[in-house]
Amino acid sequence: NETDLSSLYHQIIDRKEKIKAFNSVEFIFDISFISKDIKYFTGILYYLRPFINVPSKENDTYFQNTYDKRYLTFASVLHQCVYNFWDRIGDLLYVYFDTGLSENKVYFSTVLNNFPIEYKNNKNYILLNELYNDKLKNLLNQRSEIVHYKQIETKHYLGTFQHRDNEPKLSDLENEKLSYPNYFKEHSELTLEGFKITLDLINELPDK
Nearest C-alpha neighbor of 95 from the set 147, 8, 26, 164: 26
* Predicted confidence pLDDT, tens digits, the chain (208 residues): 677 888 899 999 999 999 999 999 999 999 999 999 999 999 999 999 999 999 999 998 999 999 999 999 999 999 999 999 999 999 999 999 999 999 999 999 999 999 999 999 999 999 999 999 999 999 998 898 888 888 899 999 999 999 888 889 899 999 999 999 999 999 999 999 999 999 999 999 999 9
List, in sequence order, the alpha helices (H) in the chain. Answer: 5-13, 24-48, 66-96, 108-113, 123-131, 137-148, 152-162, 167-202
| Cα distance between residue 37 and residue 32, in whole Å | 9
Q: Is the separation of the CB atoms in 8 and 197 below 8 Å? A: no
Cα–Cα distance, 95 to 21 (Å, whole number): 7
- Amino acid 76: pLDDT: 94
**Cβ-proximal residues to 85 (8 Å cutoff; 6+ apart), any chain:** 31, 34, 35, 38, 191
* Bridge partner list, 16: 207
149: closest CA among 201, 79, 197, 86?
79
Apex CA 203: angle with CA 38 and CA 114, to 5°?
A: 75
What is the reported pTM? Answer: 0.93
Element (H, E) at 59: none
User: Residue 203's pLDDT is what?
Assistant: 96
